[in-house]
Amino acid sequence: MSLHTAIVKIEEEKISSKKAKEFIASEKNGAESIFIGRVRNENSGKKVIAVTYDAHDQAVIKSFQSICNNAKNKFDKGAKIFLEHAKGYAPVGEISILIAVGSGHRDEAFQVCRYILEEVKHQCPIWKKEHYVDGKEEWLPGHSLRSKKEI
Amino acid sequence: MEIQLKLYGSSKILSDKDTLNIQLPDNSNIEKLRNILNKIISKKHLKSNLENLPKTAAFFSEKDEVVNDNYKLKNKESISIIPPIGGG
């Protein structure tokens, strides 16, 4: 198996870099690229304590698989890919997304990892609500899946 | 007729539940649903939070595929509202 994708209910389970490293491990790998996104404590001058992630699970998993398969076809058909994204209430410091790629060479490992990250942000129905130190909360503006012409 | 709207992201403030049942005239399409949503948002005094939602949201069918404004809704159909996205 060369592909693992999942939405992780973060209040029940953690996203594990150890699990990711084990999944992509192979004697064929000359390079392993790992991207970890975390909840940070500031955004646009506001002090953040946590982020709640919401997701349309079925559509996200479909798009994760499509994005990863496209990445393989584009850069390295033999790449091993691990992709998980958080869902639910994630305090500052928590892993929100983890992408791990095992590949024959460093260029492909970096390219696959970067491609997946940008496409996840661009395509996947995932939303973030930030929680602030003053008790306020706010859904962050994203980009519409409608074409600009339609809007 | 009635459809069930599955709520995601910012649209969740439209209901205490994860879904919202919406009454529509027979043979309504997604464009009509956008108009009705505008009215619901005004009625619930949520314009300051959701003013652009009817215009910017996409909609998924039960097959998790984006449907366009001409898509004819069926009675009891379940539709997902997809506000502008921003994960990662």
Question: Could you give all domains of chain B from N- to C-terminal order, each with its CATH number?
Answer: 2-82 (3.10.20.30)
**CATH code for position A107:** 3.90.1170.40
Interchain CB distance below 8 Å, A59 and B60: yes
Query: Residues near B38 by Cβ (< 8 Å), separated by ≥ 6?
Result: B54
Average pLDDT over residues B7-34: 97
Residue B88 has pLDDT above 80, yes or no: no
Q: What pLDDT score was predicted for residue A36?
A: 98
pLDDT tens for each residue of A65-82: 999 999 999 999 999 999
Residue B14 has pLDDT above 90, yes or no: yes
- Confirm whether A65 is domain-assigned: yes
Residue B5 has pLDDT above 90, yes or no: yes
CA distance A17 to A135: 31
List the domain range (segments joined by +) for residue A58: 3-139
DSSP state of A146: S
Q: Tokens for B18?
A: 């994860």
Residue B84 has pLDDT above 90, yes or no: yes
For A10, A13, A79, A108, A111, the CA distances from B88, given in Å and listed in that order, are 14, 18, 21, 21, 17
Interface of A with B in 21-80 (CB under 8 A): 37, 53-56, 58-59, 62
- Confirm whether A51 is domain-assigned: yes
Give B-chain residues touching A126 at CB under 8 angstroms. 85-88
- Confirm whether A134 is domain-assigned: yes
- Confirm whether A32 is domain-assigned: yes
pLDDT tens for each residue of B34-72: 999 999 999 999 989 899 999 999 999 999 999 999 999
User: A106-123 and A57-75 are packed helices; what angle lies between their axes, rounded to 10 degrees?
Assistant: 150
- Confirm whether A55 is domain-assigned: yes
- Note the ipTM here: 0.93
Q: Tokens for B31?
A: 């464009």
Give B-chain residues touching A140 at CB under 8 angstroms. 86
CA distance B87 to B85: 7
Q: What pLDDT score was predicted for residue A147?
A: 82
Pick out chain A residues at pLDDT < 70: none
Of all residues in chain B, the percent with pLDDT exceeding 70 is 100
DSSP state of B74: -
Q: What pLDDT score was predicted for residue A23?
A: 98
Q: How many independent structural domains does chain A possess?
A: 1
State the CB neighbour count (10 A cutoff) for residue A149: 5
Q: What pLDDT score was predicted for residue A75?
A: 98
Q: How far is B25 from chain A (nearest CA, A)?
A: 23
State the CB neighbour count (10 A cutoff) for residue A136: 9
Q: What pLDDT score was predicted for residue A149?
A: 82
Q: What pLDDT score was predicted for residue A127?
A: 98
- Confirm whether A111 is domain-assigned: yes
- Confirm whether A11 is domain-assigned: yes
Containing A109, the helix (H) or strand (E) segment is: helix A106-123
Residue B87 has pLDDT above 90, yes or no: no
CA distance A32 to A80: 9
- Confirm whether A146 is domain-assigned: no
